[in-house]
């Protein structure tokens, strides 16, 4: 995660060129909870801009058909994990009420999901190029011309960002972590940290977030278990 799938989908969703192309634009955040009933309810609420009070499947299906019938819609299903084709078929059958030209965009980290649901070839996002990586990292780690004051930190920073795989979230997380650190030792500690010894197939985001968490003061670390309760 963190490579920019949702951001790209938002750019498409909000593009002025789509004005007049769709009667409805719908956005549903799915995550790992691929519950067809919940997704239908979220689509209905997005279409009607009202809270849906129903929970019975047959009523929800009727509400969905009423919302989509005779309309060309753009639906974004964001951050999908489910790889069960049967569940996809259930949802797909319920979305056939819209006009021809309706579109469904799916963002996912899973190649299996992309190949299973796609009617066109999936668009794979790659990491940012090196110059863009450095610009993003530098803006957070060495703002206001600090890169000219600390040339040694610049050299170490360019080694650190190579371990982020071009992932924007990892770059901004580490850049923010280094923002208040101006000792060479602190930067070298990060360069030599576990982030720099990840397996190539491992996500760059979680190690970056874990490293950022480990540098928090104790009183802030305690906030995370409390947040996990909700």
* Selection from 102, 117, 141 nearest residue 21 by Cα: 102
**Are the C-beta atoms of residues 30 and 77 closer than 8 Å to each other?**
yes
Whole-number mean pLDDT of the chain? Answer: 84
- The more confidently predicted of residues 87 and 225 is 87
30 shares its domain with 93: yes
What are the tokens at 226? Answer: 């409390």
Q: Which domain range does residue 81 map to?
A: 5-117
Is the model's pLDDT at 22 over the cut of 90?
Answer: yes
In a domain, 124, yes or no: no
- pLDDT per position as a tens digit, 105-130: 999 888 888 888 767 888 888 888 99
Beta-strand pair 73-80/103-108: parallel
- pLDDT per position as a tens digit, 23-53: 999 999 988 778 899 999 999 999 999 999 8
- Whole-number Å distance between alpha carbons of 165 and 180: 23
157 shares its domain with 112: no
27 shares its domain with 113: yes
In a domain, 125, yes or no: no
Q: What is the CA radius of gyration of the chain?
A: 22
Single residue among 91, 117, 143 that ends a domain in this structure: 117
Would you state the pLDDT for residue 214?
66
Neighbour count for residue 153 (Cβ, 10 Å): 22
pTM for the model stands at 0.70
Would you state the pLDDT for residue 67?
93
């Amino acid at each position: 995660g963190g490579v920019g799938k949702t951001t790209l989908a938002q750019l498409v969703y909000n593009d002025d060129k789509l004005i007049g192309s769709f009667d409805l634009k719908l956005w549903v955040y799915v995550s790992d909870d691929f519950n067809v009933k919940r997704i239908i309810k979220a689509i209905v609420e997005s279409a009607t801009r009202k809270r849906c009070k129903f929970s019975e499947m047959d009523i929800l299906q009727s509400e969905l058909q009423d919302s989509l019938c005779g309309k060309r819609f753009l639906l974004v299903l964001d951050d999908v994990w489910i790889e069960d084709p049967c569940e996809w078929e259930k949802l797909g059958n319920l979305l056939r009420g819209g006009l021809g030209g309706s579109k469904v965009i799916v963002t996912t980290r899973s190649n299996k999901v992309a190949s299973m649901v796609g009617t066109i070839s999936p668009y794979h996002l790659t990491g940012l190029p090196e110059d863009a990586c450095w610009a993003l990292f530098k803006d957070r780690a060495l703002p206001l011309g600090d890169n000219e004051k600390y040339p040694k930190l610049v050299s170490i920073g360019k080694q650190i960002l190579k371990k982020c795989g071009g992932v924007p979230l990892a770059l901004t997380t580490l850049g923010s972590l280094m923002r208040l650190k101006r000792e060479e030792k602190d930067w070298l500690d990060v360069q030599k940290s576990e982030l720099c010894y990840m397996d190539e197939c491992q996500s760059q985001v979680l190690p970056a977030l874990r490293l950022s968490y480990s540098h928090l003061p104790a009183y802030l670390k305690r906030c995370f278990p409390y947040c996990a309760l909700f």
